[in-house]
Amino acid sequence: ISRYVHRTIHNFNLFSSDYKNNSDDERIGIIATRFYIFFVIIGLIILGCYTLILKRSQTYTIEWPSLSQFEKLNSKYSSTLNCPCSHFSMSYSRIMPLYPRYHSICSSEYLKDYWLSYFGRVEIDTNNTLFISTDFRITGKSFFNLLNKLCEMSNETIESALRVFRVNRLITINALSSDQFNDQINKRLKRFQQQTIASFVNLIELIRSSIDTNQLADETWTKLGPLSIYNNDTSQWSFHFRSRDFYTNSCSCIESNQCTRPAGFYFQTDNVRNKPNITIPGLVLACYAIDTLLLSTLECFYQKKCIKLLIDNYDFDIVGLVRPLDKRAIQIEPLRYENSRFYPNTTINEFFLQLFVEDWINSSNYTSYYTRCAPSQCVYTIEKRFDIAYMLTTMLGFYGGLSVILEIILPPFVKIIIKQWSKRKTSRQSNNSNEITTSKIIIILFHLLE
C-alpha cells in the first residue's frame, strides 16, 4: 500500500490529458503539476495569513431607528455611528423647561407688610420719641425694602432672560447621544446663567459706583455728616458736609465702600458716633443703604433667639410710646436652612451675585429631543479581523484565478526549461544525467535568472 501511495504521489499529473503521447510529455506534466501544487499552496498560505490579519470595514444601515435601537447602536459603534436628524433645529422650550428656585428670603414673611410695619415709626407721642438715624428701627426699613427690591429685580431679570432663552434653538445635524445632549444642555445653561448674572450685577454695580463717586448724602448721615459754622464777621451760619470716619480708625467712607460698624438699638440720647447698646448678629451699618444690605448677613433671621431679640427690643428706650406690633410679626418664623446652598453667615452680596437663585430646575427631556430629531436612518461601520467567511471566499476566488493562469503558463514554461537543460549537456554527464527531474528544473531556472 505504501508503495502504491508513493507511486501515485510521485506520478501525480494534472496535465496528463494534454501530454500522454510519449514519456517526455508525461514527465513534463508531472513536473508542471508539482510546480502547480507548490505555487497554489504558497499562494493560499500567504493570502490566508493576509486576510486573517487584515481589518475589513463593513457598513450597515438601519432605517428609522427607534430610541432604544439608537442607544444600543451608540453604545457599541459610537465612533462610526452617523444618524442625520430629519429636523435639525428645535427651540429650547420644547426640550428644556427651565425654572429658577429662589432663596427663601425672597418669599419669606420678612418682606411682608406686617413685618415692615415694625419700622413704621407710628409713635403715640411724637414729642417724646426720637430715634437716632443709625438705630435699627430706622435703618431696617431701607434694609428690607432694598432686599425686597433686589429680589423683585432678580426675578424680572431672570424671567426676561428666560423668555429669550426659550425661543433660542438647538441645532444638531446628527442625532446626539444622551451624554452629548446633556453636555450641550449643561454648557448652554451655564452660559445663560453667566450672561444673565453679568447683565444684572453690572447694572447694579454701575449704580453703586455712580452713587459713591458723586458722594451723595443719605438720610442716615452715615456717608457724610452735616457741619454748621458760625461766621462772626457776617453773623451768619453756614452749612457744610464732611465725610464720616467713625467706623474704625483706619476706614473712611470717602475712600472705601467696605467700611462697616455693628447695627443695633440705641438710646434716644445716644450720638451716632456711639456703638449700639444692643447689637444684632450679622447686621452691619455701612456707608450707604445698599452697602449696608450687601455687607450684612441673614444669620439673625435663621435663629429664633435672635428674632426674639428684635421683637423684645421693638420698644427699647420708648416703652409705652409705640403701638403694639402686628401679631403676625410677633409670631414670625425663622428662615429654614434646609435645601439651601448658602450658609447662614453668607453675606447678602453672595446672594446678589447669584440673583438669589438656589438652583435651576432643569427638566431637559432627551426623549423629546430624539423624537423631534427623528433620524431617518443610522449608518455605522464595523471593522472585522479574523473573518473566516471572508477569508474562504477570497481564497476560493484567488484559487480559481491562479489555477487558470498556472494551467496556461506552466506546461510551456517547463518545456522551455527542459530545452535549456538539453543545450547545457556535456560529455561528462553520466548515463542517467539525461533524466529530467524537478530539482534539475529548479537549477536551470536559477541559471536563467542569472
Residue 125 DSSP label: -
Torsion over CA of 337, 341, 347 and 352, rounded to 10 degrees? -120
Secondary structure percentages of the chain, helix, strand, coil, to 5: 50, 15, 35
Contact criterion met (CB below 8 Å) for 91 and 372? no
Provide the residue ranges of all domains of the chain, joining segments of one domain with +.
2-54+385-449, 97-364
Give the pLDDT of residue 420. Answer: 72
Report pLDDT for 257: 79
Query: Given this model, what pLDDT does residue 35 score?
Result: 82
pLDDT tens-place values along the chain, 450 residues long: 677 666 766 667 777 655 455 666 777 777 777 888 888 888 888 887 877 777 777 889 999 999 999 999 999 998 899 999 999 899 998 888 899 999 999 999 999 999 998 887 654 444 555 677 788 988 898 999 999 999 999 999 999 999 999 999 999 999 999 999 999 999 999 999 999 999 888 888 888 777 777 665 555 545 455 544 556 666 665 555 555 544 455 677 777 778 888 999 988 776 667 788 999 999 998 888 889 999 999 999 999 999 999 999 988 887 666 778 889 999 999 999 888 999 999 999 999 999 999 999 988 889 999 999 999 999 999 887 666 777 788 788 888 888 888 888 877 787 777 777 767 654 445 444 455 555 555 655 555 444
Q: How many CB atoms lie within 10 A of CB 241?
A: 13
Q: What is the DSSP letter of 117?
A: G
* 226 grid coordinates: 452735616
Unique residue bearing C-alpha cell 427651565? 98
Q: What's the pLDDT at 24? A: 67
In this predicted structure, what is the pLDDT of residue 444?
A: 56
Q: Where are the beta strands (DSSP E) in 232-301?
A: 236-243, 260-265, 278-286
Q: pTM of the full predicted structure? A: 0.68
215 in Cβ contact with 224 (< 8 Å): yes
| 369 closest CA partner among 116, 130, 85, 39 | 85
CA distance 369 to 394: 45
**Closest C-alpha to 35, from 396, 393, 416, 434:** 416
Residue 333 sits at the vertex; the CA angle it makes with 331 and 335, to the nearest 5 degrees, is: 160
Q: What are phi and psi of 112, to 5 degrees?
A: -85, 160
> Residue 255 has what pLDDT?
76
- Nearest Cα residue to 223 out of 288, 292, 294: 288
CA 188/CA 428 separation, integer angstroms? 96
Integer Cα distance of 261 and 284 in angstroms: 6
